[in-house]
């Protein structure tokens, strides 16, 4: 029995090597190919475009674009400028965009909190029941409604002029609002109502305020958020 075991071991050793010139050479090993990792590849960081998003994007995209710009100091926007005269606005904020839209709050008269004068290419027509001066490019945005076009017997809050220019690469926060502009459009979000508006000469577009309603007397177009 012991002889059989030794004989089998000798045959096994002989089979694992070949003699060449009396010297044995090791059996070649097959290289092992590393398996691919099953984990997900790292995702490249999302780049926020410098231009204002289109009117039909989700409100989350609009807010992302607004918040991507570093903030300015809101203290620099508590003034109105007109014909070389500066008026202090301790309770209000005023600013102007690079394309000429001017916006201002009006704490004295309460809501609507933010109003902007936009040079609309196609403003809403004057309703038949309106008396006084019709301003089709006057836009009120208080977070719960957006009203485009209204009658005003005087310049109202804009009587003191307009605010300093808001740079296209910065954002301005005040109250429940944060706004950012580029060379053609201004976007403002109202965090309290999770609504936003896009102001441009080509039109006024709303985010989360898609329901258009019959406007009250003296208003051209109204959206409810």
Which pLDDT value is given to residue 203?
96
Distance CA 189, CA 121 (A): 23
* pLDDT for 14: 39
Is-above-0.85 flag for pTM? no
What tokens does 84 get? 């070389």
At 163-180, the pLDDT tens digits run 999 999 999 999 999 999
Question: In which residue are the tokens 């003296």 written?
Answer: 218
Residue-level pLDDT at 210: 74
The DSSP call for residue 63 is H
Q: Which residues of the chain have pLDDT under 50?
A: 1-45
- Rounded CA-CA distance 145/176 in Å is 14
User: How far apart, in Å, are the Cα atoms of 61 and each of 8, 178, 219?
Assistant: 76, 14, 29
pLDDT given for residue 140 in this prediction: 96
Spatial distance between the Cα atoms of 199 and 204, rounded to a whole number of angstroms: 5
Using alpha carbons only, how large is the chain's radius of gyration in Å? 35
**pLDDT at res. 129:** 81
Write the pLDDT tens digit of every residue in 21-52. Answer: 444 444 443 443 333 333 444 443 456 668 99
């Amino acid at each position: 029995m012991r002889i059989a075991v030794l004989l089998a071991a000798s045959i096994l050793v002989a089979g694992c090597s070949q003699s060449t010139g009396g010297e044995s050479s090791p059996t070649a090993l097959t290289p092992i190919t590393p398996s691919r990792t099953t984990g997900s590849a790292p995702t490249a960081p999302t780049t926020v475009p410098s231009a204002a998003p289109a009117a039909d994007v989700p409100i989350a995209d609009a807010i992302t674009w607004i918040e991507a710009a570093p903030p300015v100091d809101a203290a620099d926007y508590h003034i109105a400028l007109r014909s070389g005269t500066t008026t202090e606005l301790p309770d209000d904020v005023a600013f102007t965009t690079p394309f000429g839209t001017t916006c201002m709050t009006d704490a004295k008269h309460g809501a609507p909190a933010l109003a902007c004068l936009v040079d609309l290419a196609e403003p809403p027509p004057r309703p038949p029941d309106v008396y006084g001066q019709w301003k089709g490019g006057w836009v009120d945005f208080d977070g719960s409604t957006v009203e485009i076009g209204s009658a005003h017997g005087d310049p109202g809050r804009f009587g003191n002029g307009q605010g300093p220019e808001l740079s296209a690469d910065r954002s301005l926060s005040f109250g429940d609002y944060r706004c950012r502009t580029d060379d053609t459009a201004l976007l403002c979000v109202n965090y309290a109502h999770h609504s936003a508006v896009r102001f441009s000469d080509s039109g006024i577009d709303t985010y989360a305020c898609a329901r258009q309603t019959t406007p009250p007397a003296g208003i051209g177009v109204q959206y409810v958020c």
